[in-house]
Amino acid sequence: MSMATSTERLHPAVQSFVSHPRKMLINGQWVNSQSGKTFSTFNPATGEVMAEVAEGDKVDIALAVKSARKAFEQGPWRKMTPSDRGKLLWRLADLLESNLEEFAQLESLDNGKPLTIARAADVPLAVDLFRYMAGWSTKIEGNSIPISVPYMPGSQFLAYTLREPVGVVGQIIPWNFPLLMAAWKLGPALAVGCTIVMKPAEQTPLSALRLGELFIEAGFPEGVVNIVPGYGETAGAALAAHPDVDKIAFTGSTEVGKLIVNAATGNLKKVTLELGGKSPSVVLPDADLETGIPGVASAIFFNHGQCCAAGSRLYVEKSIFDKVVAGVADQAKQIKIGPGLDPTTQMGPLVSDEQQHRVLGYLESGFAEGAQAAAGGKRSGDKGYFVEPTVLVNTNSNMKVIQEEIFGPVVCAEPFTEVEEVVAKANDNIYGLAAAVWTKDLSKGHRIAAQLRAGTVWINCHNIFDASLPFGGYKQSGWGREMGHEALDLYTEVKSVCAKLA
């Protein structure tokens, strides 16, 4: 496996960006942390330090929140028309699109994902999200309501509702899709008129900081978007607990999500959470295996399995189980592992040394409990954070590898005989983010989809996302939805207005 990540492949702007210490964005200005501290972001393909970034802490979060509050209460943002807010979001999308290659390379360097994927998916989807939300800025509407008031016969009223921005929003972004997840949160909040303090993941802060430069270039008023990099236990915790933050939006692990909820109780701020998943892929005996086998393989190996909706539990009807497992294992063995910037790479490294150890620990646990590897099962290479695409068999519902989210390129396969049996197994998990059904019988596919306790169910596909399609989970996979018009409701308050006319 080649580990070359030669800088001559880099876009000149990317080379310049990672060569200088990155500051934080507060009140429209790029500033150092109050402590003067910085932290390193690493190239996951090599484990080497790639850039130094200002390390935000509680005092920096406080300054950013103060800036966002002033922008919300006093700044031009509050007086801006919905049309003008939409124009700014569209301008941001245009700028992002014109810098697509630069952002794709930053994502590939910082996260490890293949550059081809960042070019084709991460950046274009972020562009599309901003444009979609730009259109919604002029469509945040209330209703007129014909009320009756039975205890005041003969009286007349004009009653209506308003949808108003919730206020200052704290947003904590994960490391698996750094740019896209930032867009998912920024877009709806800005469309309705909120102001924002955003903390990118400490593992992957670069694309968010570069996006901050585009906010300034697009002409967003100072203080509307503040970006404070730092660690979750310091900057993130301070943001979640800050008494002048009206809402917190978090994407990450369920464990941390519960800490966010506890921190938010101080001022009972609104909370939305997009959390973990252990998504089942159900393959019925009539499935088209020519598309189904590569489909369920992609469901788990896309983005190195570091995807909350990854199809990590594979349930296959007994008569075709061996064929499907052999096919998925063959797909796994053919995946080209390497640095994200290598144009031939199909799977890059995991994001960090910590994440690599987590995934390898789950593999050890699975083997200790009797699981066997039909493909993969160990670290790949001796440099960087690579793990082989892995297919586990001889698994059962009592194993940690079946019940807990691994967040790596590991799929656990089990056979089933009856649909009722597999639906029960698919739902037997604390998570309910996504699921997939593979069958030629679409009537059967829709019936099973109705029985699955998941926020998204794909039929004969997986990992299909669109700015108009709401995404979120049942059970411990979170609260609320990202994308679609449902996301807008989570950044607004409803005000009822009632005037007596006669």
Q: List residues with catalytic annotation.
A: 274
419 closest CA partner among 437, 402, 434, 394: 437
The length of the chain is 502
Cα–Cα nearest to 419, from 393, 444, 384: 444
Strand, coil or helix: what is 468? coil
Characterise 368 by phi-psi region: left (phi > 0), alpha (psi -120 to 50), beta (else).
alpha
Rounded to whole angstroms, how far apart are CA atoms 481 and 467?
A: 12
Alpha helices in 113-203 (DSSP H): 115-117, 123-136, 178-192
Query: Residue 364, Cβ neighbours under 10 Å: how many?
Result: 12
Contacts of residue 179, defined as CB under 8 A and 6 or more positions apart, other chains included, come to 103, 106, 107, 122, 123, 126, 207, 208, 211
What does the alpha-carbon distance between residue 233 and residue 5 come to, in Å, rounded to a whole number? 32
- Do residues 366 and 401 make contact, with C-beta atoms less than 8 angstroms apart? yes
Joined tokens for residue 93: 């999308």
Residue 332 CA to residue 327 CA, distance in Å, equals 9
**Alpha-carbon distance 310 to 282, whole Å?**
13
Give the integer Cα–Cα distance in Å for 157 and 265: 37
Q: Which two tokens stand for residue 487?
A: 């996301």
Q: Would you give the end-to-end CA distance of the chain in angstroms?
A: 81
Give the whole-angstrom CA distance, residue 179 versus residue 163.
28
Give the angle 46-48-50 at the CA atoms, nearest 5°.
115
Instruction: Of 388, 224, 410, give the one whose Cα is nearest residue 312.
Output: 410
> What does the block give as tokens for 129?
């999200």
The torsion of the CA quartet 478, 481, 487, 489, rounded to 10 degrees, works out to -70
- Tell me the one-letter amino acid at 63: L
Spatial separation of the C-alpha atoms in residues 172 and 197, rounded to whole Å? 9
H-assigned helices in 348-453: 353-368, 400-403, 419-427, 442-451
